[in-house]
Amino acid sequence: MSTSSPSAPASQVPPDNPLTTKEGWRHFVGHEPVPPRLLTTGERAALGPRERMREDERRREYHADLPMVNTPVIRKVTTTSRLLIQLNRNQISARRGVILSGASGTGKTTALTQLGRAHELAVRKRHPHDRNRLPVIYVTVPPAATPKMLAMEFARFFGLTFPTRANITDVVDAVCATAAHVHVDLVLVDEIHNLTLTTRSGAEASDQLKYFAERLPATFAYAGIDVESKGLFPAPEDGRSPDASSSSPLPPSHTPQLPIEKPGRPWWEPWSPRSGCTPTPQELSRG
């Protein structure tokens, strides 16, 4: 399997390669916007109308392409998740995962992708000469997902192709073998709310995702819209919402809490961190 260079310029990345492909993801991770030269007052005054319009467009494009601000919430997501990656590194099973849940527009995808970018940059710094290493997978759950559709999303990230008669076992085996070969240790799964457990295909797709989480030696991080209300979390015995420890429901501008999976509990049972605190390894290891 060939991989693109992490420092490949945008001109070498086809426009139809989104983050859900290794080429699109590597371009996202390695891309650094270059600021345009600041013109002096005299230089700008000497520009004609057309040149001034092009200069304004270049500056607007640069501002639209500025890197994401490292907010306290993004730092918390990154710190907590990278701690889990370290704790999960030598775990055979019962690896802990992270779920970002909240209303639409609260920054779940932004936090998820910034987590993946920060982790991959750290891995590249630690292994500067390993050009074939792909530490992060980014996939989205398609609407009305079936197990094979979900498996093909993983395969599409790696650029794997299969004959028409290939069954889901062939796809899963190829994905897992490739992930092991390129040392994947973080899997980002977006749009998790598209899993509908009330249908047979949705429940089977959920089981397929759980199988990936058990078979791949990686930490899984999920993001979805109001995951608690979709039935993906088990209802607590006292009837309260899973994140009842927070002081109030998430407002539209609030970034979602970080539920974390615990071993020996249902697969997606949430854990609500203390406000403003990062969990300690002792807290994360509690069953």
* pLDDT at site 230: 67
> Cα(28)–Cα(35) distance, rounded to whole angstroms?
17
Q: Is the pLDDT of residue 269 over 60?
A: no
Terminal alpha carbon distance of the chain: 39
Q: Which of the pair, 259 or 250, is modelled with greater confidence?
A: 259
- Residue 284 confidence (pLDDT): 42
Q: Please give the pLDDT value at position 158.
A: 94
Mean pLDDT of 59-77: 78
Indicate the pLDDT class of residue 236, thresholds 50, 70 and 90.
very low
Handedness of CA 207, 210, 212, 215 (dihedral sign): negative
pLDDT of 246 > 70? The answer is no
Binned at pLDDT 50, 70 and 90, residue 233 comes out as low
What local confidence, expressed as pLDDT, does residue 186 receive? 95
For residues 26-54, give the mean pLDDT. 87
> Look-up: residue for tokens 């819209």?
225
pLDDT in tens, 149-190: 999 999 999 999 998 888 999 999 999 999 999 999 999 999
Give the residue with greater pLDDT, 93 vs 232.
93
Percentage of the chain exceeding pLDDT 70: 73
Is residue 219 within 8 Å of 231, Cβ to Cβ? no
3 state SS of 208: helix
Cβ neighbourhood burial of 20 (10 Å; 0-12, 13-18, 19+) = middle
Rounded to an integer, the average pLDDT of 30-40 is: 84
Amino acid 4 reads S
Q: Which among 146, 140, 142, 143 is positioned nearest to 200, based on CA atoms?
A: 146
pLDDT in tens, 195-221: 888 888 888 999 999 999 989 989 999
Whole-number pLDDT of residue 221: 93
Q: What is the pLDDT averaged over residues 8-28?
A: 73
Closest to 212 in 3D by CA, of 174, 172, 240: 172
